[in-house]
Amino acid sequence: MPERAQRYSLTWKVTPDLLGILSDSGRFEHTNPAWQKTLGLKPEEIESREFFDFIHPDDIARTRDAFVRMKLGHPILNFENRYRHRDGSYRWLSWNAVPEGGLYYCSARDITEHKETAEALQVSETAARFREQFIAVLGHDLRNPLAAIASANRMMRREAQSATTLELLDATQGAVDRMAALIDDLMDFARSQLGQGISVDLNGAAPLKPLLEQAVTEIALTHPDARIETVLEFADPLTCDPDRIAQLLSNLLSNAITHGDPKQPICVRAEDRNGAFVLTVTNSGPPIPEKAIAMLFQPFFRAKLEGSQKGLGLGLFIATEIAKAHGGSLTVASDTDATVFTFEMPRQ
């Protein structure tokens, strides 16, 4: 080992940086133990070959240019390239090298983790921008043609139409309503994935009973065969976002109709209990399996796919997000007697 390397032998041995003395031929004459720890390469494996043999193919041209500059007497600072590990993978290294006395004294630091973190951050930022664009498309570009279809539908109804045409217009409006609901669900889901959560308006107390009654009426009109019994016994107004609570109830009712016994009634009950507002939706039918309960509030989850299930599996996920946004919770209990969804939030 040259006298200079001997003088700093302790540093040479313990530093985590890769140190090496490179000859004009492109071979390392001496390397420190950090090479084996970082790249899995023994000294004889490194020093028996030109260092270009270890460089990633995409980095060879840049590295060759840097070596030529160093031969001309210029130091190389913070030069990054990929060096092959013994297992065949590549590690990113950041090099500093200076020429002196016909040799080149090099040090390199492993920056692979930093590179991967930076790349992951870039991917995350790209994905975030894509989601924002996705929300914009849902909120504007898809709603506008739906609004046009709905408007045309209303205009056609003002003219005399045959019974067959009226049935077709009813089917068209039903499809528009379903698509609008799907867009709303997807927008809420996209916002939640962006970290924004479900937006709620909690500015003061607001009447809730009329909106709950409206939600029940709308579901009943859509499902005329369903029997829905409603008991609303709570003090109104309530500090909440009434539109969001009505949306929560609508999602729970749709779920109850889809999975409940169609011959048995669905019970909606809202009351004040121990300083909290409690809303329950109860239906009869087969119990929910324990494995399904564990996944029930996850997005896009459906216990079983049936022809009548026209949603995306976001209803219960959005309902629980609405509950969280109100500082409350949404839980489920299910057995052979009944399935009960319970929304509870503290009264303010």
Q: What residues have CB less than 8 Å from 296, skipping those under 6 apart?
A: 288, 303, 316, 332
| Phi and psi torsions of 211, nearest 5° | -75, -35
Establish whether domains 3-110 and 205-346 are of one fold: no
- Is pLDDT above 60 for 344? yes
Cα 18 to Cα 106: distance, rounded to the nearest angstrom: 8
Mean pLDDT value of segment 77-104: 94
Q: What is residue 225's DSSP assignment?
A: T
- Is pLDDT above 90 for 218? no
Q: Which of 17-21, 112-116, 121-125, 184-188 has the highest mean pLDDT?
A: 17-21
Cα 59 to Cα 221: distance, rounded to the nearest angstrom: 67
Higher pLDDT, 308 or 64: 64
Higher pLDDT, 180 or 8: 180
In one-letter notation, the amino acid at residue 157 is R
Cα 108 to Cα 20: distance, rounded to the nearest angstrom: 9
What percentage of the chain exceeds 70 in pLDDT? 87
Cα 295 to Cα 280: distance, rounded to the nearest angstrom: 20
Provide the pLDDT for residue 222: 77
- Is pLDDT above 80 for 183? no
Please report, for the chain, how many H helices and E strands are present, in that order.
12, 12
Q: Residue 105: which of 2, 226, 211 has the closest Cα?
A: 2
Mean pLDDT value of segment 175-198: 70
Q: Which two tokens stand for residue 339?
A: 């399935």
Q: Is 95 left (phi over 0), alpha (psi -120 to 50) or beta?
A: beta
Q: Residue 264: which of 228, 219, 231 has the closest Cα?
A: 228
Cα 43 to Cα 149: distance, rounded to the nearest angstrom: 74
- Is pLDDT above 60 for 178? yes
Provide the pLDDT for residue 14: 82
Q: Which of 55-59, 303-307, 317-321 has the highest mean pLDDT?
A: 55-59
The secondary structure of 284-323, three-state, reads CCCCCCHHHHHHCCCCCCCCCCCCCCCCCCCHHHHHHHHH
Q: Model confidence at 103, in pLDDT bands (50, 70, 90)?
A: very high
Say if strands 76-84 and 90-100 run parallel, antiparallel, or are unpaired.
Answer: antiparallel
Cα 180 to Cα 207: distance, rounded to the nearest angstrom: 25
Q: What is the CATH number of domain 3-110?
A: 3.30.450.20
Task: For 105-162, write each residue's pLDDT tens digit.
Answer: 999 999 999 888 887 777 777 776 776 666 666 666 677 778 788 888 888 888 888 9
How is domain 205-346 classified at the CATH fold level? Heat Shock Protein 90 (3.30.565)
Q: Model confidence at 200, in pLDDT bands (50, 70, 90)?
A: confident
Greatest CA separation found in the chain?
Answer: 104
Domain boundaries, the chain: 3-110, 121-193, 205-346
Say if strands 276-283 and 339-346 run parallel, antiparallel, or are unpaired.
Answer: antiparallel
Task: For 227-258, write each residue's pLDDT tens digit.
Answer: 999 999 999 999 999 989 998 998 899 899 98
- Is pLDDT above 90 for 38? yes
Q: Which two tokens stand for residue 298?
A: 């996850």
Mean pLDDT value of segment 98-102: 91
Where does the chain show beta strands of DSSP type E?
Answer: 18-22, 28-31, 76-84, 90-100, 103-110, 205-206, 228-233, 238-239, 266-273, 276-283, 329-334, 339-346
Tell me, yes or no, if the pTM score tops 0.85.
Answer: no
Provide the pLDDT for residue 141: 66
